[in-house]
Amino acid sequence: METIREIIEFSHDGYGQMWYPFSASLEENNTTISAEYYFEINDLLTLLRAMFATNNHNPELMSKGNVKMSRKHLLGDVKKTVCAIRFKTEKSEYILQRCFIGQFSTEARLQKVGSTITYHGQNAIQTLGKFNKPIIIDDGGLYLNGSLIFKPLDSYSRSCMVSLSNNWARMIGLVDSRIELDIEGRWSTSGDVDSFASRRHSSRTRMPSPLRLLTNLAQAVMKKRTYGMSAPVLTPFNVETLNEFEAIAMMDLVSTVCKEENIQFIVGINSTTKTNSMINAIETPRLSIYET
Protein backbone atom coordinates (compact mmCIF):
# COMPACT_ATOMS: atom_id res chain seq x y z
CA MET A 1 0.00 0.00 0.00
CA GLU A 2 1.45 3.37 -1.05
CA THR A 3 1.46 6.26 1.41
CA ILE A 4 0.78 9.81 0.28
CA ARG A 5 3.87 11.69 1.47
CA GLU A 6 3.33 15.15 0.03
CA ILE A 7 0.53 17.24 -1.46
CA ILE A 8 2.09 19.34 -4.20
CA GLU A 9 -0.82 21.51 -5.28
CA PHE A 10 -4.59 21.67 -5.50
CA SER A 11 -7.26 23.72 -7.22
CA HIS A 12 -11.05 24.02 -7.21
CA ASP A 13 -13.64 26.13 -8.99
CA GLY A 14 -15.73 26.95 -5.94
CA TYR A 15 -17.30 25.01 -3.09
CA GLY A 16 -19.85 25.97 -0.45
CA GLN A 17 -19.20 29.40 1.01
CA MET A 18 -15.76 29.26 -0.61
CA TRP A 19 -17.58 29.75 -3.91
CA TYR A 20 -14.71 31.40 -5.79
CA PRO A 21 -12.04 29.51 -7.82
CA PHE A 22 -8.84 28.96 -5.87
CA SER A 23 -5.53 27.18 -6.36
CA ALA A 24 -2.37 26.80 -4.28
CA SER A 25 1.09 25.30 -4.70
CA LEU A 26 2.25 23.91 -1.36
CA GLU A 27 5.64 23.89 0.30
CA GLU A 28 7.29 20.58 1.15
CA ASN A 29 7.09 21.13 4.92
CA ASN A 30 4.75 23.90 5.99
CA THR A 31 2.16 25.98 4.15
CA THR A 32 -0.31 28.46 5.61
CA ILE A 33 -3.50 29.18 3.66
CA SER A 34 -5.39 32.24 4.83
CA ALA A 35 -9.03 33.08 4.21
CA GLU A 36 -10.83 36.17 5.42
CA TYR A 37 -13.38 34.17 7.40
CA TYR A 38 -12.95 30.99 9.40
CA PHE A 39 -15.94 29.25 7.79
CA GLU A 40 -14.13 29.38 4.44
CA ILE A 41 -11.29 27.29 5.87
CA ASN A 42 -13.75 24.70 7.15
CA ASP A 43 -15.35 24.48 3.69
CA LEU A 44 -11.92 24.02 2.08
CA LEU A 45 -10.99 21.20 4.45
CA THR A 46 -14.39 19.57 3.87
CA LEU A 47 -13.75 19.56 0.13
CA LEU A 48 -10.21 18.20 0.45
CA ARG A 49 -11.42 15.43 2.76
CA ALA A 50 -14.11 14.55 0.22
CA MET A 51 -11.43 14.34 -2.49
CA PHE A 52 -9.66 11.47 -0.72
CA ALA A 53 -12.84 9.73 0.50
CA THR A 54 -13.90 6.47 -1.17
CA ASN A 55 -17.46 6.17 0.17
CA ASN A 56 -18.90 9.24 -1.55
CA HIS A 57 -18.78 8.29 -5.26
CA ASN A 58 -22.25 8.24 -6.79
CA PRO A 59 -22.18 8.73 -10.58
CA GLU A 60 -25.82 7.64 -10.78
CA LEU A 61 -26.73 10.97 -9.25
CA MET A 62 -26.47 12.62 -12.67
CA SER A 63 -27.62 9.69 -14.77
CA LYS A 64 -30.45 10.04 -17.26
CA GLY A 65 -32.64 8.06 -14.92
CA ASN A 66 -32.30 10.70 -12.21
CA VAL A 67 -34.44 13.25 -14.00
CA LYS A 68 -35.08 15.39 -10.92
CA MET A 69 -31.38 15.94 -10.11
CA SER A 70 -30.47 16.45 -13.77
CA ARG A 71 -33.12 19.14 -14.13
CA LYS A 72 -31.91 20.91 -10.97
CA HIS A 73 -28.35 20.93 -12.30
CA LEU A 74 -29.41 22.29 -15.70
CA LEU A 75 -31.46 25.04 -14.05
CA GLY A 76 -28.56 26.03 -11.78
CA ASP A 77 -30.17 24.93 -8.51
CA VAL A 78 -27.36 22.46 -7.87
CA LYS A 79 -23.75 23.60 -8.23
CA LYS A 80 -21.06 21.36 -9.67
CA THR A 81 -17.57 21.57 -8.17
CA VAL A 82 -14.44 20.38 -9.95
CA CYS A 83 -11.35 19.83 -7.81
CA ALA A 84 -7.86 18.54 -8.63
CA ILE A 85 -5.00 17.51 -6.34
CA ARG A 86 -1.43 16.62 -7.31
CA PHE A 87 0.40 14.46 -4.77
CA LYS A 88 3.43 12.22 -4.28
CA THR A 89 3.81 8.81 -2.71
CA GLU A 90 7.09 7.06 -1.95
CA LYS A 91 6.90 5.51 -5.43
CA SER A 92 5.08 7.83 -7.83
CA GLU A 93 3.31 11.10 -8.47
CA TYR A 94 -0.42 11.33 -9.20
CA ILE A 95 -3.10 13.79 -10.25
CA LEU A 96 -6.55 13.19 -8.77
CA GLN A 97 -9.55 14.94 -10.31
CA ARG A 98 -13.13 14.67 -9.11
CA CYS A 99 -16.42 16.35 -9.84
CA PHE A 100 -18.91 16.88 -7.00
CA ILE A 101 -22.62 17.57 -6.88
CA GLY A 102 -23.14 18.59 -3.28
CA GLN A 103 -21.35 16.02 -1.11
CA PHE A 104 -21.27 13.28 -3.73
CA SER A 105 -18.65 12.61 -6.36
CA THR A 106 -20.09 11.99 -9.84
CA GLU A 107 -16.84 11.78 -11.84
CA ALA A 108 -13.35 10.63 -10.86
CA ARG A 109 -10.00 10.39 -12.65
CA LEU A 110 -6.63 9.32 -11.24
CA GLN A 111 -3.57 9.76 -13.45
CA LYS A 112 -0.09 8.42 -12.74
CA VAL A 113 2.27 11.19 -13.82
CA GLY A 114 4.93 10.22 -16.34
CA SER A 115 3.07 7.16 -17.56
CA THR A 116 0.07 6.20 -19.67
CA ILE A 117 -1.77 4.79 -16.65
CA THR A 118 -5.07 6.54 -15.94
CA TYR A 119 -8.01 5.25 -13.91
CA HIS A 120 -11.57 6.47 -14.41
CA GLY A 121 -14.77 6.30 -12.39
CA GLN A 122 -15.07 3.43 -9.94
CA ASN A 123 -11.63 2.12 -10.93
CA ALA A 124 -10.13 5.43 -9.82
CA ILE A 125 -11.98 5.22 -6.50
CA GLN A 126 -10.85 1.63 -5.90
CA THR A 127 -7.24 2.57 -6.65
CA LEU A 128 -7.50 5.59 -4.35
CA GLY A 129 -8.63 3.22 -1.61
CA LYS A 130 -5.24 1.53 -1.72
CA PHE A 131 -3.39 4.66 -0.53
CA ASN A 132 -2.64 5.72 3.02
CA LYS A 133 -4.20 9.17 2.85
CA PRO A 134 -3.51 12.63 4.31
CA ILE A 135 -4.97 13.40 7.71
CA ILE A 136 -7.49 16.23 7.52
CA ILE A 137 -8.73 17.67 10.82
CA ASP A 138 -11.98 19.60 10.98
CA ASP A 139 -13.20 21.96 13.68
CA GLY A 140 -16.06 19.93 15.05
CA GLY A 141 -17.32 16.48 15.88
CA LEU A 142 -17.30 14.24 18.91
CA TYR A 143 -13.59 13.44 18.64
CA LEU A 144 -12.26 16.97 18.39
CA ASN A 145 -9.98 16.52 21.43
CA GLY A 146 -8.95 13.00 20.46
CA SER A 147 -5.63 11.91 18.98
CA LEU A 148 -6.66 11.76 15.33
CA ILE A 149 -3.08 11.78 13.99
CA PHE A 150 -1.16 9.59 16.43
CA LYS A 151 -2.61 7.83 19.46
CA PRO A 152 -0.07 7.27 22.27
CA LEU A 153 1.36 3.74 22.15
CA ASP A 154 2.73 3.79 25.69
CA SER A 155 3.58 6.12 28.57
CA TYR A 156 6.76 7.25 26.81
CA SER A 157 5.05 8.47 23.63
CA ARG A 158 2.31 10.04 25.72
CA SER A 159 4.75 11.95 27.93
CA CYS A 160 6.75 13.07 24.88
CA MET A 161 3.70 14.59 23.19
CA VAL A 162 2.59 16.28 26.41
CA SER A 163 6.08 17.71 26.92
CA LEU A 164 6.30 19.00 23.33
CA SER A 165 2.87 20.64 23.50
CA ASN A 166 3.48 22.34 26.84
CA ASN A 167 6.96 23.54 25.89
CA TRP A 168 5.62 25.07 22.68
CA ALA A 169 2.72 26.67 24.56
CA ARG A 170 5.18 28.34 26.93
CA MET A 171 7.25 29.56 23.99
CA ILE A 172 4.17 31.25 22.54
CA GLY A 173 3.30 32.75 25.92
CA LEU A 174 0.36 30.53 26.96
CA VAL A 175 1.99 30.07 30.35
CA ASP A 176 -1.08 29.53 32.55
CA SER A 177 -2.33 26.43 30.78
CA ARG A 178 -1.31 22.83 31.30
CA ILE A 179 -1.99 20.47 28.39
CA GLU A 180 -2.77 16.91 29.43
CA LEU A 181 -3.24 13.62 27.55
CA ASP A 182 -4.77 10.43 28.93
CA ILE A 183 -3.85 6.89 27.92
CA GLU A 184 -6.89 6.73 25.62
CA GLY A 185 -5.55 9.63 23.57
CA ARG A 186 -7.92 12.35 24.81
CA TRP A 187 -6.40 15.82 25.17
CA SER A 188 -7.50 18.33 27.80
CA THR A 189 -6.26 21.41 29.60
CA SER A 190 -6.20 22.46 33.21
CA GLY A 191 -6.11 26.11 34.15
CA ASP A 192 -6.65 28.95 31.71
CA VAL A 193 -5.06 29.96 28.47
CA ASP A 194 -3.30 33.23 29.22
CA SER A 195 -2.29 35.10 26.08
CA PHE A 196 -0.11 38.19 25.86
CA ALA A 197 -3.36 40.11 25.61
CA SER A 198 -4.45 38.60 28.97
CA ARG A 199 -7.52 36.93 27.48
CA ARG A 200 -8.61 33.71 29.15
CA HIS A 201 -10.48 30.77 27.65
CA SER A 202 -12.18 28.01 29.60
CA SER A 203 -11.14 24.76 27.93
CA ARG A 204 -12.16 21.81 30.04
CA THR A 205 -14.69 20.61 27.47
CA ARG A 206 -13.35 22.14 24.26
CA MET A 207 -9.66 22.79 23.79
CA PRO A 208 -8.93 26.30 22.46
CA SER A 209 -7.78 26.46 18.86
CA PRO A 210 -4.13 27.48 19.61
CA LEU A 211 -3.60 24.52 21.95
CA ARG A 212 -5.40 22.15 19.59
CA LEU A 213 -2.99 23.22 16.84
CA LEU A 214 -0.01 22.47 19.10
CA THR A 215 -1.36 19.03 20.06
CA ASN A 216 -1.88 18.18 16.38
CA LEU A 217 1.67 19.26 15.63
CA ALA A 218 2.99 17.15 18.52
CA GLN A 219 1.16 14.10 17.18
CA ALA A 220 2.58 14.60 13.68
CA VAL A 221 6.10 14.93 15.08
CA MET A 222 5.74 11.84 17.26
CA LYS A 223 4.32 9.81 14.40
CA LYS A 224 7.29 10.75 12.22
CA ARG A 225 9.76 9.89 14.98
CA THR A 226 8.07 6.56 15.66
CA TYR A 227 7.45 5.29 12.14
CA GLY A 228 9.93 7.35 10.14
CA MET A 229 7.13 9.00 8.17
CA SER A 230 3.92 10.96 8.58
CA ALA A 231 1.25 11.60 5.97
CA PRO A 232 0.48 15.27 5.29
CA VAL A 233 -1.66 16.88 7.97
CA LEU A 234 -4.21 19.61 7.20
CA THR A 235 -5.64 21.44 10.19
CA PRO A 236 -7.54 24.67 10.91
CA PHE A 237 -6.43 27.39 13.31
CA ASN A 238 -8.72 30.21 14.44
CA VAL A 239 -6.30 33.14 14.59
CA GLU A 240 -8.91 35.41 16.19
CA THR A 241 -8.28 33.64 19.52
CA LEU A 242 -4.86 35.33 19.65
CA ASN A 243 -3.53 38.81 18.97
CA GLU A 244 -1.39 39.54 15.93
CA PHE A 245 1.93 39.13 17.73
CA GLU A 246 0.89 35.76 19.20
CA ALA A 247 -0.43 34.51 15.87
CA ILE A 248 2.82 35.35 14.09
CA ALA A 249 4.84 33.68 16.86
CA MET A 250 2.63 30.58 16.60
CA MET A 251 3.03 30.25 12.83
CA ASP A 252 6.80 30.86 13.04
CA LEU A 253 7.06 28.06 15.58
CA VAL A 254 5.00 25.68 13.42
CA SER A 255 7.16 26.46 10.38
CA THR A 256 10.39 25.88 12.29
CA VAL A 257 9.24 22.56 13.76
CA CYS A 258 8.01 21.25 10.41
CA LYS A 259 11.36 21.97 8.75
CA GLU A 260 13.33 20.42 11.60
CA GLU A 261 11.17 17.28 11.66
CA ASN A 262 10.65 17.13 7.87
CA ILE A 263 6.86 16.78 7.99
CA GLN A 264 4.22 18.41 5.80
CA PHE A 265 1.82 20.39 7.97
CA ILE A 266 -0.74 22.58 6.19
CA VAL A 267 -2.60 25.12 8.33
CA GLY A 268 -5.75 26.97 7.31
CA ILE A 269 -6.24 30.27 9.14
CA ASN A 270 -8.46 33.35 9.12
CA SER A 271 -6.21 36.39 9.10
CA THR A 272 -5.58 39.89 7.82
CA THR A 273 -3.45 40.78 4.82
CA LYS A 274 -0.91 42.44 7.12
CA THR A 275 -0.43 39.28 9.19
CA ASN A 276 -0.40 37.11 6.06
CA SER A 277 2.51 39.07 4.61
CA MET A 278 4.54 38.51 7.78
CA ILE A 279 4.04 34.73 7.81
CA ASN A 280 4.14 34.24 4.03
CA ALA A 281 0.60 32.87 3.89
CA ILE A 282 -1.25 32.07 0.66
CA GLU A 283 -4.33 34.30 0.55
CA THR A 284 -7.71 33.36 -0.83
CA PRO A 285 -9.77 36.14 -2.48
CA ARG A 286 -11.23 38.55 0.08
CA LEU A 287 -15.00 38.17 0.38
CA SER A 288 -15.38 41.63 1.89
CA ILE A 289 -14.87 43.29 -1.51
CA TYR A 290 -18.26 41.87 -2.53
CA GLU A 291 -20.08 43.13 0.55
CA THR A 292 -22.32 46.17 0.22
Taken as a whole, the chain contains a residue count of 292
CA distance 147 to 165: 13
User: Residue 96 belongs to what H/E stretch?
Assistant: strand 93-101
CA distance 291 to 268: 23
Task: Report in angstroms the alpha-carbon separations of 117 from 69, 93, 109, 120, 266.
Answer: 32, 12, 11, 10, 29
- Tell me which of 38-52, 64-78, 237-251, 259-273 is least confident: 64-78
Region for residue 233 given its phi and psi (left: phi exceeds 0; alpha: psi -120 to 50; beta: otherwise): beta
Using 50, 70 and 90 to split pLDDT, how confident is the model at 203? very low
Give pLDDT tens digits for 69-95: 655 655 556 688 999 999 999 999 999
pLDDT at 24: 97
Q: Over the chain, what is the mean pLDDT?
A: 88
In order of start, what are the domains of the chain with their CATH numbers? 4-27+37-134 (3.40.50), 155-290 (3.40.50)
CA 254, distance to chain mean position in Å, is 14
pTM of the predicted protein model: 0.88
pLDDT at 290: 74
Give pLDDT tens digits for 93-142: 999 999 999 889 999 999 999 999 999 999 999 999 999 999 999 876 65
Per residue, the 3-state secondary structure of 137-154, as one string, reads CCCCCCCCCECCCCCCCC
CA distance 267 to 248: 13
Higher pLDDT, 176 or 82: 82
Per residue, the 3-state secondary structure of 21-87, as one string, reads CEEEECCCCEEEEEECCHHHHHHHHHHHHHHHCCCCECHHHHCCCCHHHHHHHHHCCCCEEEEEEEE
Per-residue burial over 128-141, b if 16 or more Cβ lie within 10 Å, else e, is beebebbbbbbbee
Provide the residue type at 14 as one letter: G
